[in-house]
Amino acid sequence: MFFKVMVLSLLLRRVESSQQEDLSFTYNGFREANISLDGLAQITHNGLLMLTNGTKLQKSHTFYPHPLHFKNLSTGNVFSFSTTFVFAMVSEYPTIGGPGIAFVITPSMKFPGAEAGHYMGLFNATNLGNSSNHVIAVELDSLLNLDFKDIDDNHVGIDINELTSIKSSPTSFFSDQDHQHHNLTLISGQPMQLWVEYNGPQKQLNVTIAPFNVPKPFIPLLSLNLDLARIIIDPMFVGFSSATANVQVNQYVLGWSFRMNGEAGELDLSRLPKLPRRGPKKKTKIVTIGIPVVSCAVLVVAIILVLILFIMRRKKKFAEVLEEWELNYGPHRFKYKDLYIATKGFKDNELLGVGGFGRVYRGVLPTSKQEVAVKRISHDSKQGEREFIAEIVSIGKLRHRNIVTLLGYCRRKGELLLVYDFMPNGSLNKLLYDQSDKTESVVLSWTQRFQIIKNVASALLYLHEEWEQVVIHRDVKSSNVLLDKEMNGRLGDFGLARLYDHGTDPQTTHVVGTLGYLAPEFSRIGKANPSTDVFAFGAFMLEVACGRRPIQIRASEERMVLMDWVLSCWSKGLILETVDPKLGTEYKVEEMEMVLKLGLLCSHSIPVARPPMRQVLRYLEGEVPIPELSSLGLTTNIGGQIFVPSEGSSDVSVWNINPSYMGSEMTLSSSVAESILSGGR
């Protein structure tokens, strides 16, 4: 009987122990898990074990509900066991954590008198370290507590009966891949996996941690040789203890497995519940994704705005006025942008000269690389512009080797740009008497001067007689004669006076011609015709031969008006006295005399007495001899036509003298012309 009972009890024990040896569980999520919850611990609707939520200074306990036998009752040895779980800690602040999570093996699921905060819901000040506690804990601690000799605020430790770890280490893992330590941050919000393994026979406890989806590293984070038989009593419970302090840290366990006498079953990571996308996690998302995305968007918008502004400014900068009627003149239209590029933005060092009508710039057209001169004329006139452009364009059709080709134009608001062939040797007046260039320029020889006179004559002949229309130049003078590469004279600047003829405001300075070249009858009738051009050409010839301006205010009264002076010298039989002293004796006397006399003849006060250009050219070419001047009744009547104020006279205001032209070139406004007409008689 006794034996029977003995056998029975032995059998029972064996059954019991074999049951313990087999015990294992695996929770891939806790939705259907049989589990004991206490305090803040709860299972979320998607199966997360939520150890702590936002509530502060609270405890949390979660246990496998059944007690486990860790000990071989006959030998008293502790079985081998193994557990693994995936967890995550999400703090409201990225750098401040809470007391953390502890995996615990305890004799009871109840912890009367235990405190929250850093006591982790396991102990209080009085029972801390008491060997009667029989508590084994692996802590995941994100709070630095010097009372418990914590090494840092991000460590894993093994605790026995108290919270000062027997062994601890900063959270990291040794990678099997690159054989290096990698630090982990417990409160990163990222899920991580922890393994706790005890080898019974070897009495060794290993703790290993790794990021989610990284297989268990071969080298554990903590390895402690310790016989748990002194601590473990029979039976014990396994589970998690946690607590909150003053910082909101949400702590989750996503999955958990345990096995007595063997390796814990592997968790199916793909089946684990997802962490919620809210709270501090959202905040970190805002920081890590939101702010960069938003600032990128702001940057992109800013760049687009800047681009739009740039394009708009550019558009405004290069804006042109183009009306429908102008479309006919297509080939003669230039793009303002091209002219802008050609002249390097109308830079001052591309400036060729400043004339009565505007500034002239040198330029190189971007596509054809053709050298051009661009004349910028500002005007406010709307009225008559169409006719004027038509005239410009028709003048653009003029082709003669002694005419500066007008290549085209461009119209902007209040501005007209005329594009000419570039003349490398500049204008004749500069070579004749520009002081500033004197050092560099050679004195034009008589041969060159005579050639230039003939060039201009043939240009005028072309304009007056050889082209389909009669073109009156209106402004023949040395500054409008340009010199090409071979020093051939070319007549430029056509019809600009017309622009001002069409001007809206008669009070503004209206240039109608240049004093000294104006035929006397032009002042009376105000109409230009070929003979007014011939008059100006006469003045021009004298200018070239004598090397001085038609009117020189600072000269003696006798010499002030060139024409009068030449005439008086001629009447004394001393016409060669007037020859440009710079020439010395380097000229052909017959040619010189002929030019001087022809100059006087062309500038005859009676229009019909002036020879037409065809005749002028014949004289110049020596085909026919020039008639005797005495028979033509030349008189010194030119000076009488023009009122010239003496220097310092208060009457100077009647002259429209551009200060920069003082003493060199004078322009006359139409209203002044009238006052001369009435006052000069």
As annotated, the active-site residues are 475
Contacts of 191 (CB under 8 A, 6+ apart): 86, 87, 88, 211, 212, 252, 254, 272, 275
Residues 401 and 51: their CA atoms lie apart, in Å, by 100
For ligand NAG, give the closer residue by CB, 282 or 397: 282
Residues 29 and 254: their CA atoms lie apart, in Å, by 5
Residues 539 and 430: their CA atoms lie apart, in Å, by 17
For ligand NAG, give the closer residue by CB, 132 or 660: 132
Scan for tokens 């690159």, then name that residue.
178
Shortest distance (Å) from residue 52 CB to ligand NAG = 8
For ligand NAG, give the closer residue by CB, 51 or 666: 51
For ligand NAG, give the closer residue by CB, 194 or 676: 194
**Residue 65: count of CB within 10 angstroms of its CB:** 13
For ligand NAG, give the closer residue by CB, 20 or 53: 53
Shortest distance (Å) from residue 254 CB to ligand NAG = 18
**Pairing mode, strands 667-669 and 511-514:** antiparallel
3-state secondary structure of 67: coil
Shortest distance (Å) from residue 177 CB to ligand NAG = 16
Shortest distance (Å) from residue 153 CB to ligand NAG = 9
Shortest distance (Å) from residue 299 CB to ligand NAG = 31
Per residue in 589-608, is it b (16+ CB within 10 Å) or e — as a string? eebbbbbbbbbbbbbbbebe
Tokens of 549: 């301006």
Chain centroid to Cα 593, Å, comes to 67
Residues 447 and 125: their CA atoms lie apart, in Å, by 122
Bridge partner list, 39: 60
What are the backbone dihedrals phi and psi of residue 253, each rounded to the nearest 5 degrees, phi first? -120, 125
Shortest distance (Å) from residue 305 CB to ligand NAG = 42
Check whether the bond before 201 is cis (ω within 30° of 0).
Answer: no
245, 57 contact by CB (below 8 A): yes
Our separate counts of H helices and E strands in the chain read 15, 26
Residues 188 and 211: their CA atoms lie apart, in Å, by 11
Shortest distance (Å) from residue 182 CB to ligand NAG = 7
Residues 475 and 56: their CA atoms lie apart, in Å, by 98
Shortest distance (Å) from residue 67 CB to ligand NAG = 20
For ligand NAG, give the closer residue by CB, 170 or 639: 170
91, 280 contact by CB (below 8 A): yes
99, 39 contact by CB (below 8 A): no
What are the backbone dihedrals phi and psi of residue 111, each rounded to the nearest 5 degrees, phi first? -130, 75
For ligand NAG, give the closer residue by CB, 56 or 614: 56
Tokens of 500: 């001002």
Residues interacting with ligand NAG, by CB under 6 A?
Answer: 40, 42, 53-55, 127, 130, 132, 152, 170, 172, 183, 197, 199, 204, 206, 219-220, 223
Scan for tokens 């962490």, then name that residue.
275
For ligand NAG, give the closer residue by CB, 244 or 603: 244
